[in-house]
Amino acid sequence: MDVNLEILPLSSWVHDVTRPVLISGPCSAETEEQVLTIARELVQQKITFFRSGIWKPRTRPNVFEGVGSKGLPWLNTVQKLTGLKVTIEVATARHVESALKHSIDVLWIGARSTANPFVVQEIADALKGVDIPVLVKNPINPDLGLWLGALERLNKNGIKKLAAIHRGFSVYETTRYRNIPTWQIPIDLKLKLPQLPVFCDPSHIAGKRDLIFPLSQKAMDLNFDGLMIECHHCPEKAWSDAEQQITPDDLRILLLELKIRADHSDDLKFVHNLEDLRERINKIDREILDAFGKRMELVRRIGDFKREHNVTILQSQRWEEIIQNGLARSLRLNLSSDFITGLYKQVHDESIRNQNLVMNAGKGMEIGN
């Protein structure tokens, strides 16, 4: 899947791109006084964007669903009195129109909307010809295609100031997270779109306050550009997401403790050592591939024997033995059992595929696994 988007650098719409660029504010706007109190405290923490949900996508009805468009002028007060730029979630064309009418600076698309191409298209169409930055949260389900698709739909309609927000994925099981992070997905997104700025929203991944710091640190270590963190002056009393919001003072402490590492160093000794270690890794990788090649050669020879003697491909006892030997050895080598089990499963699948080819050559039975 090739994606070719024209994305402007973060510096074209963010004055200071020093990591982490911060988006912070309450989950929901509740009253004018509440947003203004929080914004005034957050301005001290050098945040770049003040967030606040106006229309809230709630799982069940009959709970607080946001104050609606009457909250938009409150955000204009925040802009006027604090100088902060403001951002809100939009989920319909009507939301977009109201947001634009009220000079909202940045829009974001929520996780539930990203999962729905009809919704994304409606938002993209409402934004045609408008020059406004749009942040796209990952879809609630772990699907890179939908995330990319949403970015593509916006970009096709002329939105070039784009960024992604990683907020985790929902699963049915109870885990320590509200939404599991599955970091591989935002990493794959960055590999496909290296020019796309990526933020992390540790608040919605965590679902509770105590995981916000380690998740923020992890995001910084993975070189994310910024963080979206929910802050409330009185979190326990928040009208939505009360367990995961922190106070502006908690945010101050979090920022003090956060270690920001550079993505490279020009120190000659460091560069030299890194090159040396990487060259050694390349050599080992070549050896591993050669060894796999040789292994498959032997597997095919066994396939020949089995065909001659009319013996089945799969012999579960032998497979058990291979896995057990591997696991025993991995323990001594400091390799995790999950890694070894996964690796052996791949090797086993490929071995069966190879033997199947040998044993059924020319019979149109070369099925994969």
Give the residues lining the site for ligand PEP (CB under 6 A). Answer: 27, 53, 57, 110-111, 137, 167, 204
Q: Which is nearer to ligand PEP, 189 or 340 (CB)?
A: 189
For helices 268-309 and 337-359, give the axis angle rounded to 10 degrees.
40
Q: Which is nearer to Mn ion, 151 or 238 (CB)?
A: 238
Residue 53: CB minimum distance to ligand PEP, A: 5
Single out the segment in contact with Mn ion by CB under 5 A; choices: 26-34, 135-143, 169-177, 264-272: 26-34
Q: What is the DSSP letter of 173?
A: S
Query: Which residues, in sequence order, are CB contacts of 54 under 8 Å at separation 6+?
Result: 28, 29, 66, 67, 68, 69, 71, 72, 75, 88, 89, 95
Residue 213: CB minimum distance to ligand PEP, A: 19
Which entry of ligand PEP, Mn ion, none binds 139, CB below 5 to 8 A by partner kind? none
Residue 202: CB minimum distance to ligand PEP, A: 11
Residue 257: CB minimum distance to ligand PEP, A: 23
CA–CA distances in Å: residue 369 to residues 96, 352, 355? 47, 8, 12
Q: Does 96 bind Mn ion (CB under 5 A)?
A: no
Say if residues 179 and 150 touch (Cβ distance below 8 Å). Answer: no
Which entry of ligand PEP, Mn ion, none binds 178, CB below 5 to 8 A by partner kind? none
Say if residues 159 and 127 touch (Cβ distance below 8 Å). Answer: yes
Residue 148: CB minimum distance to ligand PEP, A: 17
Q: What is the dihedral of CA 327, 332, 338, 342, to 10 degrees?
A: -60
Among 22, 23, 27, 196, interactor with Mn ion by CB under 5 A: 27
Q: Which is nearer to Mn ion, 27 or 90 (CB)?
A: 27
CA angle 71–76–81, rounded 5-degree value: 125
Residue 30: CB minimum distance to ligand PEP, A: 13
Say if residues 195 and 7 touch (Cβ distance below 8 Å). Answer: yes
Which entry of ligand PEP, Mn ion, none binds 57, CB below 5 to 8 A by partner kind? ligand PEP
DSSP 239-296: SS-GGG-B-HHHHHHHHHH-----S----HHHHHHHHHHHHHHHHHHHHHHHHHHHHH
Nearest residue to 151 (alpha-carbon basis) of 7, 363, 361, 337: 7
Which entry of Mn ion, ligand PEP, none binds 167, CB below 5 to 8 A by partner kind? ligand PEP
Nearest residue to 30 (alpha-carbon basis) of 62, 70, 58: 70
Residue 348: CB minimum distance to ligand PEP, A: 39
Q: Does 241 bind Mn ion (CB under 5 A)?
A: yes
Which entry of Mn ion, ligand PEP, none binds 233, CB below 5 to 8 A by partner kind? none
- Compute CA 298 distance to the chain's CA centroid, rounded to the nearest angstrom: 41
Q: Which is nearer to Mn ion, 142 or 207 (CB)?
A: 207
What are the residues binding Mn ion (CB under 5 A)?
A: 27, 241
